[in-house]
Structure formats: structure tokens, C-alpha cells
Amino acid sequence: MPASTRARTSADAPAPHDSARRTARGALWLATNGIVVKGAHTVVLLTLAAVLTPEALGLVALGTLVAHVAAILGTLGTANALVHLRGDADRAARTALTLGLVLSTALAALLWVAAPALASGLRAGDGGAAVIRGLTVVLPCLAVAGVTAELLRRRLAFARRIVPDTVSAAVGAVVAIALVSQGVGVMALVAGQVVQAVLMMLLAWAVHPPVLPGWERSDARALVGFGAPFSGAHLLEVVQLNLDYLLVARVLGALSLGHYSLSYRIANMPYLMVAVVVTGAAFPFLCRTRGNERARAGEVAMAVTFSLMLPACVLLALLADDLVLLGPEWAPASPVLVLLVGYAFLLALTQVSLTVLNAAGRPGVAMAVRLVHLTLLGLTLLVVVERGIRAVALTQLVVVAGVAVLAGLLARRAVPGTSGARLLADVRPAVLATAAMALVVVGLRAVDVDAGPLGVLVVSLVAATTFLLVLRRTGGPAWSGALALLRRQEALA
């Protein structure tokens, strides 16, 4: 191996204890990024819900679905494969960029031509083609930014990695809200997304030297070999996460889709802000561990995800009736939200198990789990969708419960040494704290403290305070162990 290659490979693999500390800091940086990015998206979503009709929000949901699928197909997971690659990541990044640019550009052009037919097939209505074109024309920008982001994640340089995401999301949200206030309608969201994608690419070049296109056949084989099943699993995830949208739109129409999509997006916020953050920080660290070290790291990732998702989901379920504050037309979304927060909680636990499988070198197994999830969900939804959006939400909850168990068993088998007893001990404090929080919220609702937006904010702050206070008193040893794990790898032994 050439000296330069050895040097780069060594630089990509820091000392174990340094990796653990940097992963802990990375989780905090990614948490900050998640709060800003998803918070910005939430503000835009609630603004659109308050200003637009449920039908218009359904149009946004369909356009976003097409954009998500296209973003995955536009790179084949080659950027993500850089994190797992054994070899010269700087050289391989040039090949990943070439593949991403060629595929994403071709796909963007294809979707531009096919947008009218696609919008008609999805029953997107007037403006559907314009939304699809606007959200997919920036695919090359996302491909370029993605290569840089994954290089930085490989090196655990999370502080620099979040800058493009955070700043571009905030600016895009400001643009979208400003245009909505001027009566632009759903195209305001499209304009905000275009600004966000272009700015993300420019900021990626600001935090890391631009990666230039290049080609190395061996790198292409390695990237596609890991990236194809990885992106296949991700694509199945996106289809599985949005299959309900497609069926609701086709069978029940835009009004029901608007109600359902609002509930789904709100319920999905904790998943995006917790599960995606935790697994994003844990994946590169898990790739560098083995045996009992990986088992304990996986337990900690699961415990942290469980402990943060549980109170967030319970609080959303208790406050679901307050969706009517956006307008009385949103009342049908409240019972759907209650079911979907349970779905989001179990989906987050599934995501941790699949991340462990990917880190253990089993992306094919993770993709198979996604396929099982998609198949079960699709077959069941075809039977129940005509019964309405509540039946759709209940189906999501039941199916993901079975998939969560399957993914957990497979992850435990792939990483021997995982202890269910340790995991239960880790999550017990969060269960107690969440129970205390729920009692407080129910009591406050009983005296109508939560009337109006200000009341909802007060109840939420009191609930969060209660949870943290109880957790502090009951969870000291468990959380100290988790912190020790992240700070010193020898604590895993």
C-alpha cells in the first residue's frame, strides 16, 4: 500500500477512545442540526397548514415523495458507502461524485419531461407537475453536497458537517414563509427547497475543499457493492414510509391525504430529530467497533433512542386534540395523530436495529427487513384503505410492531453479546419519567390550562421539565454509564 494511501486510511480511522469522544460530540452536533432543520421544516409545515387547504397540503406531500425517491436513485448510495469504505476515501469520493452527478442529472431531466404524466397518475391535480419539477431540478446539487457530507461524517467532523444542512434549512424556511405570506401558495415551498439545495452545495464547498470528478473502477465497484443494497434498503424505506400517501391519494382523495399527511408529518418529527440523529452519529462509531464493544454501543444507541422518543411521542398523543388550533377543518387529523405517534416510536427502534445490521456489514439483511415491511404494509393497506385514514394509521402501527421485533432479533444475532437485561435497565428511568410527565399533562388538561396556543406551549414546557427532573433522580447510573461509553471506549469492556 502506498504511503499516501496508508496515511489517509490511518487518518480516517482515529484511535478508539478518540472515536468514542468524537462520536459523543457528534451526537450533540447532529442533535443541534436536527432541531434546527426539522424545526424549520415544522414551522413551514404549520404555516402551510394554517394558510392552505388540506388538499394543497396533500399536493405538497406527493411532490415531496417524488423528490425523496429521486434523491435516492440519483446516487445509488455511493456517497453513503464512503463512511463504510475500507481504503482511500478521498480518491473514492471523486468516483462517487462522478456517479452521483451523472445519475442525478439524467434523472432530473427524465422527471422534468415525465412530470405532467406523473402528476396525473398520482392525482396531484393542478400544479402537480410544477411542484415535481421544482423539487427535482436540484438533484445534482444534492448529489454534490452529499459526497462532502459523508466524507465529513466518516471523519467524525460533525461540527463542519452540519453547517450546510443547518444554515440552508433556516434560509429555505425563511424564503418559503415569506412567499406564503405573499399568497404564492404551494410554490412557496418549492422555492424554499430550491434555495435550500443550492445553498447547501455552496456551503459544502465552504466547509470542505470541493471534491473534483474522477474515476477509478475498483472504487466504483466497492462503492456500488455496498451502496446499492444500502440505497435499496433506503429506497424501500422511503416507499414504505410513503406507500400510505399513494394509496390514500388514489382511493380517498386529496382532502383525506391532507389530513393524513399533517398527522404523519407531526408524528414523524421525533423520529427525524431523535432516531435519525442518534443513528447518524452512531453508525461511523459502530463501524469501528467489534464484539462486545459493538454490542454495548448498540445497546446505548437503542436506549438513548427509546428514552428520547417515548416522552416526545406520549406528549404528542396527549396534545393531539389541539390540532384544531390550526383551524376546525383539521379535526379529523387528531385521532390519526394518536395512532401514528405509536408507529413513529416503533419505527425509531427499528431504525436503530437496522443501523446495527449495516454497521455489522449486513446491508443485505437490512434491505430484506425493509422489503418484508413494505410487502406486509402494502398487502394490508390494499385491504383496509377504503375504511379511511384511521384504518390506515392503525395498519401502520400493527405492521411496524412486528417488523421492530424481527429487526431487533436479527440485530442481536448479528452482534453477539447484546444484553436485553442491560437494555431494560437503561430504559427504566425514562419509562418512569414519562409516566410522571403524562400524569402532569392529564392533570393540566383537566383544568383547561392548555386552551389556546400559549396554553399548549406552557403545558409542553411543564411536561418537559417534569420528565427531566424525574429522569435526573431515577436515571443517574444508567446515563452515567452511557456517557462513560461515549467518552471512554474501555468502559465497554
Give me the tens of pLDDT residue by residue for the chain, a chain 493 residues long.
Answer: 343 333 343 444 444 444 445 555 555 555 565 666 666 666 776 676 667 666 676 777 777 778 877 887 777 777 777 776 777 888 888 888 898 889 889 989 998 998 888 887 766 666 778 888 888 899 999 889 888 888 887 777 777 877 888 888 889 888 888 888 787 877 888 888 899 999 999 998 998 888 888 888 888 888 877 777 766 766 766 776 677 877 887 788 777 888 888 898 889 888 888 888 788 777 777 877 777 878 888 888 898 899 989 999 999 999 988 887 777 888 888 999 999 999 999 999 999 999 988 888 888 888 889 889 989 999 999 999 999 999 999 999 999 999 999 999 999 888 888 888 888 888 899 999 999 999 999 988 887 655 677 778 888 899 999 998 898 887 655 555 455 444 433 333 2
Q: What is the pLDDT of residue 492?
A: 32
Q: What is the pLDDT of residue 202?
A: 93
CA dihedral 72, 78, 84, 89 (to 10 degrees): -140
Side chain identity, residue 75? T
Q: What is the pLDDT of residue 465?
A: 92
Q: What is the pLDDT of residue 117?
A: 85
Q: What is the pLDDT of residue 281?
A: 72
Residue among 335, 342, 336 at smallest CA distance from 270? 342
Show the cell assigned to 27. Answer: 451526537
Q: CB under 8 Å to 73, separation ≥6 — which residues?
A: 103, 107, 231, 235
Q: CB under 8 Å to 2, separation ≥6 — which residues?
A: none
Q: pTM for the complete prediction?
A: 0.67
Per residue, the 3-state secondary structure of the chain, as one string, reads CCHHHHHHHHHHCCCHHHHHHHHHHHHHHHHHHHHHHHHHHHHHHHHHHHHCCHHHHHHHHHHHHHHHHHHHHCCCCHHHHHHHCCCCHHHHHHHHHHHHHHHHHHHHHHHHHHHHHHHHHCCCCCCHHHHHHHHHCCHHHHHHHHHHHHHHHHCCCHHHHHHHHHHHHHHHHHHHHHHHHCCCCCHHHHHHHHHHHHHHHHHHHHHCCCCCCCCCHHHHHHHHHHHHHHHHHHHHHHHHHHHHHHHHHHHCCHHHHHHHHHHHHHHHHHHHHHHHHHHHHHHHHHHCCCHHHHHHHHHHHHHHHHHHHHHHHHHHHHCHHHHHHHCHHHCCHHHHHHHHHHHHHHHHHHHHHHHHHHHCCCHHHHHHHHHHHHHHHHHHHHHHHHHCHHHHHHHHHHHHHHHHHHHHHHHHHHCCCCCHHHHHHHHHHHHHHHHHHHHHHHHHHHCCCCCHHHHHHHHHHHHHHHHHHHHHHHCHHHHHHHHHHHHCHHHHC
The CA distances from residue 393 to 64, 111, 250, in Å, are 20, 30, 16
Q: What is the pLDDT of residue 449?
A: 59
Instruction: Quickly count: other Cβ atoms within 10 Å of residue 299's Cβ.
Output: 27
